[in-house]
């Protein structure tokens, strides 16, 4: 991205650039239809990629709105902090999150805490209808009435958490800041606080030496590295129903046990299946009017 704008008048120049950008956008006919798959079914099955539920314009528009409002909120919130330089997010789009494997009916919890049922069918259902139904559900019993689903701290989430804590330093590593820096949709301050509590216990017990970055209250590392750039969807369990664990500890695949944690161990490309990940297109730091944003 290079700047070619006229330094004399910035505001109007930026407006012009926006217009320029808009006119440069592909027309509707140039875009791949939402209903069209990007890869062939053979390729998909070869890589165990299951087709996403159909997305409609409603989904896309809603995602765009959420993104915009989220950006606005972040911008206003970080104006007077001393680590503006850290906040270089909202630049790039998601790169690594990919749709999870869905076999049959799967309940996914929206950021609003609203359950949506994804019906994966070989032949499609009426997409508009399902979208409308979703919309209605969203509006009817939105957020406040329903209690939030239980958050699952996947290795990915935890890694992001650890990275943020490390880069923030011990002083700034408080739940609210961590939550903001993680930039995870649907993640609440309480979630982070709880996890932070456990994490501190872990660090206290298992040598703090292993996590040396914690003591860098003044982050000396170049923080230009895109840390919290891409939005991430917090995996939620609808309600982790009593799984009858009587004999041995069995874990759901994708969750991890405890904190014996590999600093950078899990760089495998196992990001195929985590519970709760969905969405392909440029989505979505979702935000709604929630009690916890200022």
Show the site string, 129-168: x = touches DNA by CB under 7 A, - = not.
------------------xxxxxxx---------------
Under the criterion CB under 7 A, does residue 51 sit at the interface with DNA?
A: no
Q: How far is Cα 70 from Cα 231, in angstroms, rounded to an integer?
A: 11
Measured from the CB atom, is 55 or 191 closer to DNA?
Answer: 191
Beta carbon of residue 226, minimum distance to DNA (angstroms, whole number): 24
Q: How far is Cα 24 from Cα 21, in angstroms, rounded to an integer?
A: 5
Residue 20, classed as helix, strand or coil, is helix
List the beta bridge partners of residue 117: 107
Identify residues 216-255 at the interface with DNA (CB under 7 A).
Answer: 239-242, 249
Beta carbon of residue 294, minimum distance to DNA (angstroms, whole number): 5
Q: Interface with DNA by CB under 7 A: which range of 118-126, 184-192, 264-272, 281-289?
A: 184-192
Q: How far is Cα 203 from Cα 210, in angstroms, rounded to an integer?
A: 8
Of 48, 145, 136, which Cα lies nearest the Cα of 99? 48
Measured from the CB atom, is 75 or 197 closer to DNA?
Answer: 197
Measured from the CB atom, is 190 or 212 closer to DNA?
Answer: 190
Write the CA distances from 203 to 65, 151, 237, integer angstroms: 39, 22, 27
- Pairing state between β 106-109 and 150-151: unpaired
| Binding stretches for DNA (CB under 7 A) | 147-153, 174-177, 189-191, 193-198, 200, 239-242, 249, 257-259, 292, 294
């Amino acid at each position: 991205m290079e700047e070619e704008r006229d330094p004399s008048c910035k505001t109007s120049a930026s407006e012009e650039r926006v217009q320029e950008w808009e006119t440069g956008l592909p027309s509707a006919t140039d875009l791949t239809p939402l209903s069209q798959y990007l890869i062939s079914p053979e390729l998909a099955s070869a890589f165990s990629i299951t087709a996403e539920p159909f997305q409609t314009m409603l989904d896309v528009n809603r995602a765009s709105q959420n993104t915009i409002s989220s950006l606005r909120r972040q911008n206003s919130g970080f104006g007077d902090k001393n680590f503006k330089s850290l906040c270089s997010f909202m630049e790039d789009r998601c790169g690594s999150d990919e749709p999870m494997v869905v076999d049959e009916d799967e309940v996914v919890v929206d950021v609003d805490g609203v359950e949506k049922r994804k019906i994966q069918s070989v032949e499609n259902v009426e997409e508009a209808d399902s979208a409308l139904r979703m919309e209605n559900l969203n509006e009817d019993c939105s957020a406040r009435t329903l209690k939030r689903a239980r958050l699952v701290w996947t290795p990915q989430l935890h890694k992001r958490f650890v990275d943020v804590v490390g880069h923030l330093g011990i002083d700034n590593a408080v739940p609210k800041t961590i939550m903001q820096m993680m930039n995870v949709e649907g993640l609440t301050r309480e979630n982070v606080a709880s996890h932070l509590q456990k994490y501190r216990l872990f660090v206290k017990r298992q040598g703090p030496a292993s996590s040396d970055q914690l003591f860098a209250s003044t982050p000396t590392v170049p923080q230009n590295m895109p840390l919290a750039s891409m939005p991430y969807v917090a995996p939620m369990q609808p309600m982790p129903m009593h799984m009858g664990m009587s004999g041995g500890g069995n874990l759901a695949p994708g969750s991890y046990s405890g904190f014996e944690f590999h600093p950078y161990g899990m760089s495998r490309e196992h990001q195929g299946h985590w519970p709760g990940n969905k969405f392909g297109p440029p989505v979505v730091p979702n935000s709604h009017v929630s009690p916890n944003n200022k």
